[in-house]
Amino acid sequence: MTSTAPDARPVLVVDFGAQYAQLIARRVREARVYSEVVPHTMPVAEMLAKNPAAVILSGGPSSVYAEGAPQVDPALFDGGTPVFGICYGFQAMAAALGGTVAHTGQREFGRTVLEVTPGDTTLFHGLPAEQSVWMSHGDAVSAAPAGFAVVATTAGAPVAAFEAPERGLAGVQFHPEVLHSEHGQAVLEHFLYEIAGCRPEWTTANIVEEQVELIRAQIGDKRVICGLSGGVDSAVAAALVQRAVGDQLTCVFVDHGLLRAGEAEQVEEDFVAATGVRLKVVDAQRRFLDALAGLTDPEAKRKAIGREFIRVFEAAAREVVADAGAHGEDVEFLVQGTLYPDVVESGGGTGAANIKSHHNVGGLPDDLQFSLVEPLRALFKDEVRKVGLELGLPGEIVWRQPFPGPGLGIRIIGEVTADRLELLRRADAIARAELSAAGLDRDIWQCPVVLLADVRSVGVQGDGRTYGHPVVLRPVSSEDAMTADWTRLPYDVLAKISTRITNEVPDVNRVVLDVTSKPPGTIEWE
């Protein structure tokens, strides 16, 4: 099941290998216009068959003159579809339309001063004549195609932007999608609204209304099952399906005992109260602890957690199917919280019930095959949160930071035991509470708290010598988790977290800060 814009005409973002292709799509959506990412290998006829409201050509690492570099089929410009080129896409567009792209010898990377050409311009109207933009190019357009007005320049790009509004065509050498381009979003919106004629109608309310209709059409009068993990993706997906088909949905929550403090209660109490969903809770905490006993290798722990989850969920699913069968009903569908980045990174493929491993379930037996219901597969994480708020989910669930499928099992370096889990929960709860009190919990992507259970650190507490465990704080900032940087938290906040943890959590006498970016480090330690 897929999602489309209210008028069923997407803006297509053609990915030329840019690190920012998905970001462009997000910025289009922030302008309340629906967008999709498509590969540059997609034939133009196939693109146009989607009846796009506009096409945006992304940046990319190639030179337009390099052997094998992706090119733009001139046929794209023959059908009257508005097109906007960015960086490499701008150069490829210029070359396809008869302009000149040259090695100017003046490469530009990073912040660059852009000069808007005097006179009327659609892309830059109402914006400063001089503005800071983000550049990343070696080649540059030295001559615009015939019929295009040059509307901006920089020291290294004689044609930094051009436009032919009457033909629905425009482009810029810089990256308007990144925050470093001061007025980039305005430039993008000028193209969308004033050149392409798009209307800002793709709202959260429309998304919910549209998905409810699609879900009802797909499921009909059949029963559907959903595995709740406690995370925002599965919660919002389940809430959407519940809104659409009510008691035809049964949610299964496997309490493996590896969640943080209060998260199991959020599912069992707050989520049920907000949605009225039919919830089946499986208390499997002892089973998971037994499976993890003696394991210290991270991969071994992950496999053990995944294996047990499959077995527990399988048994619960069989019970739901049997109950439905006793009432003459069939369970044919499984809800999955697939997001748009998952779709793009997997090539946009679809399939039968191959439940994603990072949702903790995989490899269900053949006799438990379901058709997938994926109401979030067209959405980015920030859009999912907005839909959750629209559906009335509690803020504690909607704004929950990303959390690994194996939970605290991979935030304990060493064997996982009940005592160590309780120790880590208390330390983690303190860190989250202080970040929230300081108003910082939404400024960071996530803040894993890691227990070095196999390490002993000497300390002094109560006038005595101690040998406690160190705890690591790992606050990171990111947009997509592909790359991340450590968050520069205020020293007073860090000090308060450290003081509370060492005072309030037994057997912890040292708190350290991880200041490693990704790469080279990962966000999680295991």
**Residue pLDDT, tens place only, 497-524:** 999 999 999 899 999 999 999 888 889 9
Q: Quote the pLDDT of residue 344.
A: 72
The DSSP letter of residue 337 is: -
Sign for the CA dihedral angle at 103, 105, 109, 112 comes to negative
Q: What is the mean pLDDT of the segment spanning 476-483?
A: 76
The single residue listed with the structure tokens 């101690």 is: 466
Summarize the confidence of residues 296-310 as an average pLDDT.
93
Residue 69's nearest CA partner among 96, 44, 32 is 96
- 190: confidence class by pLDDT, cuts 50, 70, 90: very high
Reported confidence tier of residue 525, pLDDT bands at 50, 70, 90:
very high
Q: Choose the weakest-confidence range: 156-170, 349-363, 487-501.
A: 349-363
**How far is it, in rounded angstroms, from Cα 290 to Cα 353?**
29
Lowest-pLDDT range of 188-202, 339-353, 510-524: 339-353
20-24, 48-52, 447-451: the lowest-pLDDT one: 20-24
H-only helix segments in 226-332: 232-245, 263-265, 272-275, 285-292, 298-326
Q: What is the predicted pLDDT for the residue at 462?
A: 67
Per cent of the chain over pLDDT 70 is: 91
Reported as a single tens digit per residue, the pLDDT across 247-290 is 999 999 999 999 999 999 999 999 999 999 999 999 999 999 99
Mean pLDDT to the nearest integer, 235-247? 96
Asked if residue 444 has pLDDT above 60, the reply is yes
Placement of tokens 């064997």 in the chain: 415
Q: CA of 420: how far to CAs of 4, 182, 491, 505, in Å?
A: 47, 48, 27, 11
Residue 347 has pLDDT above 70, yes or no: no
pTM summary value: 0.76
Is the predicted pLDDT of residue 482 greater than 80, yes or no? no
pLDDT band for position 346 (cuts 50, 70, 90): low
Q: How confident is the model at residue 110 (pLDDT cuts 50, 70, 90)?
A: confident
Compute the average pLDDT of residues 313-317.
90
- What is the distance in angstroms between the CA of the first residue and the CA of the last residue of the chain? 34
Positive or negative, the CA dihedral 319, 320, 325, 330 is negative
Sequence-distant (6+) residues with CB within 8 A of 234 are 226, 227, 228, 335, 337, 359
What average pLDDT does this structure show over 468-491? 88
Element (H, E) at 13: strand 11-15
Q: Judge whether 507 and 467 are in contact, CB under 8 Å.
A: no
**Does residue 70 surpass a pLDDT of 90?**
no
The reported pLDDT for the residue numbered 349 is 38
Percent of the chain with pLDDT over 90: 63
Residue 4 has pLDDT above 50, yes or no: no
Rounded-to-integer distance, Cα 487 and Cα 88, Å: 32
Question: How many residues does the structure list for the chain?
Answer: 526
What integer best gives the mean pLDDT of the chain? Answer: 88
> Cβ contacts of residue 319 below 8 Å, gap of 6+?
280
Residue 198 has pLDDT above 60, yes or no: yes
Task: Tell the burial category of 149 from Cβ atoms under 10 Å away from its Cβ (0-12, 13-18, 19+).
Answer: middle
The torsion angle over the Cα atoms of residues 302, 303, 305 and 309, rounded to 10 degrees, is 130
Strands 449-451, 464-473: pairing is antiparallel
Q: From residue 394, how far is each of 337, 397, 495 by CA, in Å?
A: 18, 6, 30
Q: Give the number of C-alpha atoms closer than 13 A to the C-alpha of residue 393, restricted to the C-beta side.
A: 31
- Which residues participate in catalysis according to the annotation? 87, 175, 177
Distance CA 277, CA 406 (A): 25
Count other C-beta atoms under 10 Å from residue 345's C-beta. Answer: 12
Residue 360 has pLDDT above 70, yes or no: no
Q: Which residue has the higher pLDDT, 443 or 363?
A: 443
Confidence of residue 233 (pLDDT cuts 50, 70, 90): very high
The answer to whether residues 485 and 521 touch, using CB atoms and an 8 Å cutoff, is no
